[in-house]
Chain A
Amino acid sequence: MARTVTLEHPTAHPAKGGAMLKRHANLLIAAAALLALPYVLNAIGLTLTSATDVAILAMACMALNLLVGYTGLVSFGHGAWFGLGAYAAALLQHRVWPDGGVALAIPAMLLIGLLAVPVGFVVLRRRGVYFSLLTLAFTALLYTVAYRWTALTGGENGIGGVKRGLLFGLDLERAGVFYTLVAVVVLVVIFLLQRFVRSPMGSVLAAIRENEQRARFVGYNTTLYKIACFTLSASVTALAGALMVFNHRFASADPIAVAFSGELLAMVVIGGMRSFLGPALGALFYVLFREFLSMWTPNWLFWFGLLFMGFIVFSPTGLVGVAGRLLAPLRKRTVEDAAMGGRTVAQAQALPKTLTAREPWSGDGPILEAKGLARAFGGIKAVENGAVAVRDRTLHALIGPNGAGKTTAFNLISGMFKPDAGEIRLAGVRIDGLSPHQVCAKGLSRSFQITNLFPTLSLHENLRLGVQATHARRFDPWTDASSIPEIEAETREMIAFLGAAGMEKAEAGALSYGGQRLLDMGLALTSRPRVLLLDEPLAGLAAAERTRVSNLIKQISAEVPVLLVEHDIDRVFELADAVTVMADGAVLVDGTVEDARTNKKVQEVYIGSGSAALANRDLASAATDKPMLALDGVDAFYGKSRILSGVALEAREGEILALLGRNGAGKSTLLKTIVGIVTPATGTAALAGENLAGMTPAAIARRGVGYVPQGRALFSGMSVRHNLELGRLKRRTGAGKHFSEEEVLDLFPRLKQRLDTAADLLSGGEQQMVAVARALVGDTRVLLLDEPFEGLSPAVTEELFDAFDRLRHQLTLVIVDHHLDVVLNLADRAVVLERGQVVHEGPARPLARDLDLRRSVLWL
């Protein structure tokens, strides 16, 4: 879930030392509040029944918050459990045990808890919004049942005459005695909930909320945890409902109505879903609001709803968040330096013992072997015949151009997808088709290309969760998770290894990008893997960080074999012990670094052969001196990952500019920055002298910028005609040359017969033509093309080549493509990007003709 606010997370452990008071602060506050509540309410004119209501609702809200705040599952149907608990208690007394008093709340809770298991199993199949809708529908279903099944529930009349009975000879019919009992129960429940959320089991909930995918990849069977949490939450809510029956001596369908579920949720949100006791505060607020406002207006819910909306808009963290913000200036700020500079030492640290102490792989042959891997997505074969074999204690690199199938191969090996065919063996055991947490348990773990952490949890908690996932006590619901010595020791060792001592408490999301990449790798290592998969660990790092991280990888691979996907080929060739090169979903070369470096086919894949038929044409340049597009000092980031740094370039009117560079060099991002889809952090982009800063993509497009993205992004289900219509709809602006539909169709005559065909049914080449045509129609002066020749046959390539050649007389073109033979022959000038920086700029022709020059500029 995307989160715009960073908050104090619920599992924040109090610091060590002087801890007793702090550890139990929540309980002390709760006890004090429960003690004071009747007196305070009495002083403002409310009864003990209201105080009992507050205590019971507080308990229900805290239970609901286990799902909402801790696990990130927003249940719109929790009133159902409250209502079911109420019915269960009332029915037990009426039908089974007429003399049973309040004690019946216990069997009622157990019964409903049992029911929650299968319900949880069904509704937890979905997450996010779908989960919310399912819980909503579940409640609505129960409501109709409860309302209609009058024989059991009494329908509209409900079940009255519930007796509280005696407990230890005390008459619970007396409000004071009953309140005391409820307060004790609530306090005990709060104690139990606190133990739970601090236990290994409870601590996983926050991991699921922050990043369920990663939780599965570090080894948690998240479904089990979610069902456990759902059941516990439902049981406690049912207990609250049962106690409410004894408070009001009456059970009805009211709590099952969706409205009550919403009110519970509102209490949680208003109180503060990111704090342990916040929801209880919300319950108090709700009852006070109800009691006072209902004296003044029968429509107190109107004002309550408005207030609720106000909180969502202005303070999603509720009252606790408001209080935190008000108190913030008074508090001493203890924000730790989250920069990489905060790390203790830069020299290499010893690998954690758990990684070095494991048994070496005794079998002969590779420890990880994948053969004949195949996987298709919607008819497109991402991997056709993937194979890789990693020997123990080596660094094995998997490289290849875009679309070669490397990441898919990774995803197949690590269990994210099931392969359509092929087999994967880890230390001789088949692991293909297993789910991620099972693969992790077998001894294979991975890092991710896009940083994939538990962002609002501390660095320490991230790693601790990783260690805990493969620990025997990961399901322990009782012990304090931070007090398990083995887990703690392993976590410390890993922190020391990463050189992160002293910044344990920094939030993972607040770390520098380099720190996050490092933590991502550390998290993968906490699973004590037999083989480690690293997906582009160097991407987006600055030079110094690159060296540091690659040294670390090399060091790890001396103990734990590493399979690495990385675009920084220079670095890969320096480090790797073995290399597999993939292209078009299959293996091209498998061997040593030298094999890969010198292999002609590999070079061809990356820089072309210099001998394409198109090279023979002698094209005339149409470039003028008038600057059309000018970029200066452009920096761009994805999150914290730096993609472009200080890019400056200029394209003149009538010029064709080739933008070259390897995968991940930042070419596509540069185009997106020009179009405005990516906002540059610094620097300027100007179009014909006009600064584009702060403009939306739509505004930039209307100034005459046409954009053909990689993969074409045609609108499927719409005809060619309609795709073109969307292109010209709002681009009749007079900015640049006007391209009418006829002119565009003249450029690509074969589209004339296809005008009424759905764009997604066209061949790849025709689709590319439509994408170009769509970007042109209207008024255009700059055309940006991202990989326009990708996946096309030579004949179609030639057709497009000629079209672009004709266009140079009418506008400026910027082309990104890895078919260098084609694009260099077409272009006037070439700009080469490497790691987000311009490393070469010059005329294209020499690069097109002189393969040695090309190799020196573009190869290693």
Chain B
Amino acid sequence: MPLELVFLIEQLLNGLLVGVAYLLIALGLSLIFSLGGIVNLAHGGFYAIGAYAAVVVGNRYGFPAAFFISPIAVALIGVVIERVLFARFYRADPILSLLLTFGLAMVIEQALRMTFGATPIPFSIPDFLRGQVFVGDFIYSRYRLAILVVAIVAVLGLWLLLQRTAFGRVVRAGVQNPDMVGALGISLTPYLAAVAALGIGLAGLAGVMLAPITGVHPAMGSEILTASFVVVVIGGLGSFWGVVAAGLLVGVVRGMTVYFIPPAAEASMYLLMLLVLLLRPRGLFGERILRFE
């Protein structure tokens, strides 16, 4: 294999890695938004909490424990936030929940700064995931590959949950027509809480997995949040495969720009978004949802 191609594929995989991280955050955002109408600007904050929780748990009980405990802990925090804050805003002007969650994001970031300090905390890759994978000429980090696998499993798992279980069908029905779901005797309240837990838990999971790569620092949430929103906007609010496609697309475009025009790596996805919005104002697969316009 020519060397350039090897580098190109490596950058592509790196781009995809970033893409799936955005994707995990974006899917949670999209899910919470579709069912309850809350645009959760604090979603990045939960991602950061996930990373910090991984540090705390991981240092004491090891990475595998952190991998399971941290997302669950974050999901539980999510349920509390949903019951105490989100529930008040399901029927309110969506702009108010946007402002509220923005404030929440600020509070989470500062709380993390107060508790853990502003300096990044290193979080190392567990031993069994260290090292490289060799495929012919091609070398790639074992841990990064593991992240890709976990993310793919998570996305597929979420899709199966939504498609193949009664729980998922109630959620999808609730997105389509909440009044009709009510008229069938199903109260959406527990589903709203469960969806918040799920979406926020996914953010926590992303936090755990990316912690060793990006480092753990208080602003990590706000950094990933804007990018995830770009993914959601490109994919179309409320569209599962739209968001997945957008996440991968952003990853690929990013990988390519890192390879060809490195300084424009960050800017590339915003330009992509601009392009998509000019051509398709509701995103790749987005539907028109009147009350958010």
Contact = CB atoms under 8 A, between A and B. Distances in A.
| A joins B in a complex | yes
B95 A129 contact: yes
B107 interface: yes
Interface string B217-237: 000001000110110110001
B3 interface: no
A167 interface: no
Interface in A383-442: none
Interface string A252-279: 0000001100100110010000000000
A716 B95 contact: no
A122 B277 contact: yes
Contacts of A134: 233, 277
A718 B111 CA distance: 43
Contact of B106 (A304, A725, A731): A304
Contacts of A149: 263
A729 B184 contact: yes
A130 B179 contact: no
B182 A696 contact: yes
A355 to B, nearest CB: 34
B166 A729 contact: yes
Contacts of A258: 222, 226
A696 B93 CA distance: 22
B103 interface: yes
Nearest to A304: B106
Interface string B86-103: 001000111110111011
A819 interface: no
A130 B292 contact: yes
A141 B270 contact: yes
B169 A309 contact: no
Nearest to B164: A722
Interface in B62-96: 85, 88, 92-96
B176 A716 contact: yes
Contact of B186 (A122, A722, A726, A775): A726
Given A122-B274, A129-B39, A715-B176, A696 B103 contact: no
A1 B173 contact: no
A88 interface: no
B: interface residue count bin = 35 or more
Contacts of A675: 183
B177 interface: yes
A137 B292 contact: no
B267 A145 contact: yes
A125 B293 CA distance: 10
Interface in B248-293: 263, 266-267, 270-271, 273-274, 277-278, 281, 291-293
Nearest to A702: B185
Contact of A133 (B39, B186, B278): B39
A301 B102 contact: no
A515 interface: no
B107 A128 contact: no
B107 A302 contact: yes
Contacts of B172: 715, 717-718
Interface in A780-832: none
B113 interface: yes
Nearest to A129: B292
Contacts of A676: 182
A729 B186 contact: yes
Contacts of B106: 259, 262, 266, 301-302, 304-305, 308
Which has the most chain B C-beta neighbours within 10 Å: A134, A302, A717, A733?
A302
Given A1-B95, A316-B96, A677 B182 contact: yes
Contact of B182 (A1, A133, A308, A701): A701
B102 A696 contact: no
B170 A299 contact: no
Contact of B183 (A262, A301, A701, A717): A701
A2 B169 contact: no
B187 interface: yes
A122 B233 CA distance: 14
Contact of A726 (B103, B169, B187, B232): B169
B57 interface: no
Interface string A106-146: 00000000000000001001111110111011101100110
Contacts of B281: 125-126
Interface string B20-43: 000000000000000000010000
A736 interface: no
B135 interface: no
A567 to B, nearest CB: 24
Interface string A637-649: 0000000000000
A722 B94 contact: no
A701 B110 CA distance: 46
A76 interface: yes
A727 interface: yes
B283 to A, nearest CB: 9
Given A148-B266, A698-B185, A730-B185, A309 B292 contact: no
Contacts of A312: 96, 99-100, 103
Interface in A593-630: none
B158 to A, nearest CB: 16
B180 interface: yes
Given A125-B277, A729-B166, A137 B186 contact: no
A662 interface: no
B104 interface: yes
A4 interface: yes
B43 to A, nearest CB: 13
B278 to A, nearest CB: 7
A321 to B, nearest CB: 14
Contact of A698 (B102, B186, B222): B186
A217 interface: no
B114 interface: yes
A582 B189 CA distance: 43
Interface string B105-124: 11101110110000000000
Given A137-B226, A145-B267, A730 B292 contact: no
A95 interface: no
What 7 A-B pairs have minimum CB-CB distances, sorted nearest first? Answer: A302-B110, A305-B106, A141-B270, A701-B185, A144-B266, A697-B182, A305-B107
Interface of A: 1-4, 74, 76, 122, 125-130, 132-134, 136-138, 140-141, 144-145, 148-149, 258-259, 262, 265-266, 269, 299, 301-302, 304-306, 308-309, 312-313, 316, 675-677, 696-699, 701-702, 707, 709, 713, 715-718, 722, 725-727, 729-731, 733, 774-775, 778
9 contacts: A1-B93, A144-B270, A304-B106, A305-B105, A309-B100, A316-B96, A701-B185, A707-B183, A718-B169
Given A149-B263, A715-B169, A727-B184, 8 more contacts: A3-B93, A129-B293, A140-B227, A301-B109, A718-B173, A726-B186, A730-B185, A774-B184
